């Protein structure tokens, strides 16, 4: 085993990619790699990519172009593309950008050590099959060193829902849940290393149905209850959920599981039943609103977050207004919104498209509304006492930054707060993207 090689990883896309990047660095550790934050220092550059929208995918090629000079200076520099663009485009990436040495999909990165070894003699490596073995079973145990107080943990991956706009079922493959034992042992490892908050991840995390430690299938709620018993773990979150998988036991957990935080990301995409149907979402605006009502009955202070697509094929002004009305009814504390982007291989890409200018106009209208709601909910925090998990130092001397239960960023100025500590803070001020408070 050689030592002291360095890998620079750049991560695009969703939180699952953030988690995967961490595991890729760990996997490359067995080939003697350590992570570096500077590409100039790297022996290997790895882009962990996202294919969800056209812009996301195109970014990869412009980023790759920027490494051309580095590769001239350092001919031994290896350049790899991982993640969802790797899965979707495979060897096409090497055709379009010949300086790429390695392409690896999201389900096969446990093979990175092998793939990297093949590059030694100037070879190229590509691995985008969905392998028979499960990557998490093959990957080694997590390391033991201290780490940041908040961590992601993938519990479910892939998707069988095939929304008409979405590439995820193709890039991540079929829906798979990890066994509970694997997850719990990983969670214990994280907590021993200083983690106080775990966000469980899945493309449809609430569809989790892994084998429990009793051998029976567990729901996400059952898994959360088990994590609730881990001493030293203070907070549990999960993302992303699908409305159709929001089971009663999960809603109930929001009412009674003390470590489960009052925040829920529950994308609806559109408020028009016609569009929802065309999107193959298998829920209606009404069923979504009913669900929100049920969730709020269980946990009245829950902060709701969502995703919206505007300008989906055949979206009329009336359909768009249905979305606006749904937003007005729900009142989101946070939301992500996107112009519909045609994705190769998805059903909606074949349909008649809405003009770009109309998409832009609708996006602005929607985002103005969301911004106002977000601001209003954030402003209501002033005067309240929240619990803050401190994650890092702020920009100013003595300033510390953490997150409230509701995922608002909170700043305090104090010499007495340690990273990883959970403190009561009275909110004194609401700024554009964060809150300011005082320790109690
Ligand atoms: N599994 C999650 C979503 C994963 S993708 C769910 O079902 O809610 C994250 C978000 O990207 C989606 O919620 C959607 O709003 C957006 N998105 C996905 N495909 C898109 C496309 N083709 N164009 C624009 N936005 C898209
Ligand atoms: Fe994509 Fe729909 Fe699956 Fe979410 S549920 S990952 S939007 S196909
Ligand atoms: Fe992007 Fe893949 Fe995540 S397409 S959003 S990185 S699952």
216-254, pLDDT tens digit by residue?
Answer: 999 999 999 999 999 999 999 999 999 999 999 999 999
In this prediction, residue 155 carries a pLDDT of: 98
* CA 173 to ligand 2 centroid distance, Å: 11
For the chain, give every domain's residue range. Answer: 5-127, 142-261, 291-380, 385-439
**What is the distance between the alpha carbons of residues 236 and 259, in angstroms, rounded to a whole number?**
6
52 lines ligand 3 (CB under 6 A): yes
The H or E element that residue 25 is part of is helix 15-28
CATH code of domain 5-127 = 3.40.50.12160
In this prediction, residue 4 carries a pLDDT of: 85
Task: Assign residue 246 a region (left: φ > 0; alpha: ψ between -120 and 50; beta: otherwise).
Answer: beta
| Buried/exposed 403-417: b ≥16 CB within 10 Å, e otherwise | bbbbbbbbbbeeeeb
Ligand 2 test: best mutation among 51, 156, 157, 242, most atoms within 8 Å of CB? 242
**What is the distance between the alpha carbons of residues 349 and 77, in angstroms, rounded to a whole number?**
37
DSSP one-letter code for 103: E
Ligand nearest to the backbone CA of 240: 1
Ligand nearest to the backbone CA of 343: 1
Alpha-carbon separation of residue 272 from 280, 319, 320 (angstroms): 12, 5, 7
**What is the distance between the alpha carbons of residues 167 and 165, in angstroms, rounded to a whole number?**
7
- Spatial CA neighbour of 29 closest among 145, 125, 131: 145
Ligand 3 test: best mutation among 82, 161, 168, most atoms within 8 Å of CB? 168
pLDDT in tens, 87-103: 999 999 999 999 999 99
| Ligand 1 atom at minimum distance from 14 CA | 9
In this prediction, residue 318 carries a pLDDT of: 98
- Spatial CA neighbour of 47 closest among 34, 36, 61: 61
Q: Which residues of the chain have pLDDT under 50?
A: 1-2
In this prediction, residue 30 carries a pLDDT of: 92
**What is the distance between the alpha carbons of residues 296 and 275, in angstroms, rounded to a whole number?**
26
In this prediction, residue 3 carries a pLDDT of: 61
CATH 1.10.10.10 corresponds to the domain 142-261:
no
In this prediction, residue 281 carries a pLDDT of: 97
Task: Count Cβ atoms within 10 A of the Cβ of residue 269 and give its class: 0-12 exposed, 13-18 middle, 19 or more buried.
Answer: buried
Fold agreement (142-261, 291-380): yes
- Counting every residue, how long is the chain? 440
* CA 90 to ligand 3 centroid distance, Å: 15
53 lines ligand 1 (CB under 6 A): yes
* CA 373 to ligand 2 centroid distance, Å: 25
The closest residue, in CA terms, to atom 1 on ligand 1 is: 203
3 state SS of 418: coil
Ligand 2 test: best mutation among 162, 163, 288, most atoms within 8 Å of CB? 163
Fold of 385-439: OB fold (Dihydrolipoamide Acetyltransferase, E2P) (2.40.50)
* CA 75 to ligand 1 centroid distance, Å: 38
CATH class of 291-380: alpha beta
Question: Do residues 389 and 197 touch, judged by C-beta distance below 8 A?
Answer: yes
The pTM is what?
Answer: 0.97
Helices 317-330 and 285-298, packing angle to 10 deg? 10
């Amino acid at each position: 085993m050689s030592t002291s090689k360095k890998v620079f990883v750049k991560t695009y896309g969703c939180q699952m990619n953030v988690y995967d990047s961490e595991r890729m660095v760990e996997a490359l550790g067995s080939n003697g790699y350590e992570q570096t934050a500077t590409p100039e220092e790297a022996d290997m550059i790895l882009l962990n990519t996202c294919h969800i929208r056209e812009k996301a995918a195109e970014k990869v090629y412009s980023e790759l172009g920027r490494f051309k000079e580095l590769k001239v200076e350092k001919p031994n520099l290896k350049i790899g593309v991982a993640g969802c663009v790797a899965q979707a485009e495979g060897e096409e990436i090497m055709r379009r950008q010949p300086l790429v040495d390695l392409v690896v999909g999201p389900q096969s990165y446990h093979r990175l050590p092998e793939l990297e070894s093949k590059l030694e003699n100037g070879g190229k490596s590509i691995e985008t099959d969905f392998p028979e073995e499960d990557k998490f079973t093959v990957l080694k145990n997590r390391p033991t060193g201290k780490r940041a107080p908040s961590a992601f943990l993938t519990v479910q991956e892939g998707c069988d829902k095939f929304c008409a706009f979405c590439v995820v079922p193709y890039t991540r493959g079929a829906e798979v849940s990890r066994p509970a034992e694997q997850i719990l042992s990983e969670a214990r490892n994280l907590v021993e290393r200083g983690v106080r908050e775990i966000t469980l991840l899945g493309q449809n995390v609430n569809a989790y149905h892994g084998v429990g430690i009793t051998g029976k299938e567990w729901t996400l709620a059952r898994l959360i209850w088990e994590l609730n018993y881990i001493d030293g773990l203070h907070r549990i979150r999960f993302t992303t959920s699908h409305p159709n998988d929001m089971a009663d036991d999960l809603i109930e957990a929001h009412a009674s599981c003390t470590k489960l935080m009052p925040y829920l990301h529950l994308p609806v995409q559109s408020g028009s039943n016609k569009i929802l149907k065309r999107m193959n979402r298998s829920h209606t605006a009404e069923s979504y609103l009913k669900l929100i009502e049920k969730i709020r009955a269980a946990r009245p202070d829950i902060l709701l977050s969502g995703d919206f697509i505007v300008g989906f094929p055949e979206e009329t002004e009336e359909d768009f207004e249905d979305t606006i009305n749904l937003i007005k009814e729900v009142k989101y504390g946070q939301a992500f919104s996107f112009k519909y982007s045609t994705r190769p291989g998805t059903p909606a890409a074949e349909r008649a498209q809405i003009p770009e200018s109309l998409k832009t106009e609708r996006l602005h209208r929607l985002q103005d509304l969301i911004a106002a709601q977000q601001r209003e909910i954030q402003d209501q925090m002033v005067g309240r006492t929240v619990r803050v998990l401190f994650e890092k130092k702020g920009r100013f001397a003595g300033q510390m930054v953490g997150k409230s239960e509701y995922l608002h960023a909170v700043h305090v100025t104090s010499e007495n707060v340690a990273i990883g500590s959970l403190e009561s803070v009275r909110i004194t001020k609401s700024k554009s993207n964060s809150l300011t408070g005082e320790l109690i």
